[in-house]
Amino acid sequence: MTFALSTASRARLATVHPALREVVERAITLTTVDFVVVQGNRTRDEQMRLYGQGRTAQQCRAEGVPEAYAQPGRARVTWTLNSNHIGGRAVDLAPYVDGGIEWDNSGRLGLWPRIAEAMRAAADDLNVPIVWGGDWKSTPDRPHFELARGWDRPDFSNVVSNVRSTEPFA
């Protein structure tokens, strides 16, 4: 069984770092469970709105988040204002089964380990270091995959110039 990214998934994926985009595009060809991209890049304002979920006006004010974003009655969805989603260094993926997202959390992580396996294999193939939120001990974030903090695509220009400087075969 092979899967393909939907139009909506592709549109969300277009907002993230090219290296992460390539990893997801490869992962969809390797995965044993279909998945969708539910979130790509976020603006700082979008992150602040998410931060307001599950927090009081006072808690928001303490972190410089507009009090209007406070929604203390809702479940918390994020633990940081410094998300790697800002700047397009993270994506959220979710298993897609029988026409819908499969949130089942049997075994705690549900079907996500199968997505993570495909993402790891794709990242290894492409030499892109990624981190899966499902591995976080205190607050696992199953849908979340991000580029390793501080990593960016290396510059290969030196390697290329070295190759060119070698003597041609006689």
Q: Within a 13 Å sphere around the CA of 143, how many CA atoms are in the beta-carbon half?
A: 19
Number of residues in contact with Zn ion, rule: CB under 5 A?
3
Decide the pairing of beta strands 35-39 and 130-132: unpaired
Burial class (CB in 10 A: 0-12, 13-18, 19+), 87: middle
Region of 4-12, 46-54, 110-118, 142-150 interacting with Zn ion (CB under 5 A): 142-150
- Min dist CB 131 to Zn ion, Å, is 11
Please choose, out of 19-27, 136-144, 147-155, 158-166, the segment that lies near Zn ion by the rule CB under 5 A: 136-144
Residue 36 beta carbon to Zn ion: minimum distance, rounded to whole angstroms: 14
How far apart, in whole angstroms, are the C-alpha atoms of residue 82 and residue 80? 5
Length of the chain: 170
Query: Smallest distance, Å, CB 101 to Zn ion?
Result: 14
Binding-residue pattern over the window 80 to 99 for Zn ion, x denoting contact by CB under 5 A? ----------x-x-------
Are the C-beta atoms of 151 and 129 separated by less than 8 Å? yes
Shortest distance in whole angstroms from residue 26 CB to Zn ion: 19
> Looking at 15-23, 62-70, 98-106, 141-149, which segment touches Zn ion (CB under 5 A)?
141-149
Q: First-to-last CA distance in the chain?
A: 50
List residues near Zn ion by CB under 5 A: 90, 92, 144
